[in-house]
Chains A and B, each alone.
Chain A
């Protein structure tokens, strides 16, 4: 009897052990299946984002099913709404003291950590998170920078300076690629930088003092070449990678107005990129097709300028000594005076950006967007700068102590927000997935899609 009782107890213990083992195995298998289901749903989400970018929001009406690793993910369209203008925030300590460079699809920050080190951080234009960072040892201060495409990757040329020396660095997310010391400072408050590369891939940077004389530096050897360009322009790398300007010491730039803005675009609609130069008095265009320069300086001060696709094209407003405002726009053979729509005459300052009848830029020190109906929306205020950090059109940035607020491609206006629920089928059983939100922005025939999950910030 005792033996039987003991046997029952021991058998119970054995059964418990086997049951526990089985439970652990089942739990592990369930985790494995859940992981693969999650990966398959994430893959399907990428696939749906790709379809939306390629074919537009119309795909929402189709049957959307993606199969991977035995998991079948099906999306159901829940609804469509307005996405609003895309905004974001880069968390950067002491951002006001950092050199910030929007570089194509990312934001690059260079900031001093202590007396001998500088932190270089790369932030994603989509997630706003730091994707890579490294420390660079130098006792010089980062003062300015410009984006560069180096070996196929978006990086930056950063200039560091001390009292009697300078350092030009090319950085990518992989680290410092090249650096060269110069025996005197090269940057002034009016300096403009432009970067490119030679045929053998050597990074080059043109540094001007705003006027028509500049210096081209080889970022590996430091060898300088003097470059000059016509009055009202400045030496710069063109969109095709060639240099605008000629290799000569040129004449004195004394008395020549400083260039305050340089930007490229196909301003005369000939299919070739042109380059525009704005000074305090003139607006000039270098034609990429003819290499000719068209210029407008009707007297007075150039107050605002910009290129508005689908409307006026390249245009500017001059305030005459008598207070009168005159608008000129680029035509086939030069600039001609015109009377713009009301939303042009709101007191724009500096360059504005336009798409159809929507304008964006700066008014009274604030970044604003003006709709075709005249509705003005403030985007950002404070200390601001512009650039491209997400691969689209021009973005606006505002500095604060703890980071940088960003407003992306506002000229393209609001986007569409499509929401989908996901369901996953695996080995005959179905489980519900996440609710996915896709924001779609369109401009100039290009669609940009951003994905987030319901309940999460973009």
Chain B
């Protein structure tokens, strides 16, 4: 007579394999989903840094207020929202928020300092002194 597995052994083994496969499926799903989210986050992070770097290179402060634009990176679409607000008399805060869908959002903040009121007055004085003829 051939020796084989009992029904109980097969049942226990099946349950174990089922549990393990479920766990593996969950882990794989988490890995793939997490990987995608991470790629989106890294794209958003790159765009936020690029946006801040572009503002750092400006010779003058950007206009205060909120600007929103769409951007794409590696085929993925992002929304870049830049908020510029005065912080006291001599500083402006720049908030850059890059999002993609509801789950991905990156925010970076930079502050710039200058004698803003002085520069404004200089321009006004200069305009007042312009040539009156011709």
Contact = CB atoms under 8 A, between A and B. Distances in A.
Interface of A: 2-4, 6-7, 10-11, 13-15, 17-18, 20-21, 24-25, 28, 31-32, 35-36, 39-40, 42-43, 46-47, 49-50, 54, 68-69, 131, 149, 152-153, 173, 196-199, 201-202, 204, 218, 225, 240-243
Contact of A6 (B17, B59, B90, B123): B17
Given A3-B13, A46-B111, A17 B130 contact: no
A50 B113 contact: yes
A196 B126 CA distance: 11
B112 interface: yes
B35 interface: yes
B46 to A, nearest CB: 10
Interface of B: 12-13, 16-17, 19-21, 23-24, 26-28, 30-31, 34-35, 38, 41-42, 45, 49, 52, 57, 59, 90-91, 93, 106, 108-115, 123, 126, 129-134
Contacts of B45: 28, 31-32, 35
Most chain B CB within 10 A, of A14, A240, A242, is at: A14
A135 to B, nearest CB: 21
A28 B110 contact: no
A21 B106 contact: no
A126 to B, nearest CB: 11
Contacts of A196: 131
A198 B134 contact: yes
A145 to B, nearest CB: 20
Contacts of A240: 129
Contact of A197 (B20, B52, B59, B130): B130
Query: Which DSSP category, helix, strand, loop or mixed, fits chain B's interface?
Result: helix
Contact of A68 (B26, B109, B131): B109
Contact of B134 (A46, A152, A199): A199
B34 to A, nearest CB: 4
Contacts of B42: 28
Contact of A69 (B41, B109, B129): B109
Given A197-B130, A202-B134, 16 more contacts: A3-B12, A11-B20, A13-B27, A14-B27, A15-B27, A18-B30, A28-B41, A43-B110, A43-B111, A43-B113, A50-B91, A50-B113, A68-B111, A196-B131, A198-B131, A218-B134
A24 B34 contact: yes
B45 to A, nearest CB: 6
Sort A-B residue pairs by CB-CB distance and give the 3 closest, nearest first: A3-B13, A14-B27, A50-B113
Nearest to A68: B111
Contacts, number: 121
Given A32-B45, A198-B134, A199-B132, A21 B111 contact: no
Contacts of A149: 126
Given A7-B16, A28-B41, A46 B112 contact: yes
A196 B130 CA distance: 8
A28 to B, nearest CB: 6
Nearest to B17: A3
A6 B23 CA distance: 13
B122 to A, nearest CB: 9
Contacts of B34: 21, 24-25
B3 to A, nearest CB: 15
Contacts of B24: 10-11, 13-14
Contacts of A6: 17, 20
B12 to A, nearest CB: 8
Contacts of A68: 93, 109-111
Contact of A43 (B41, B112, B123, B126): B112
B19 to A, nearest CB: 8
Nearest to A22: B34
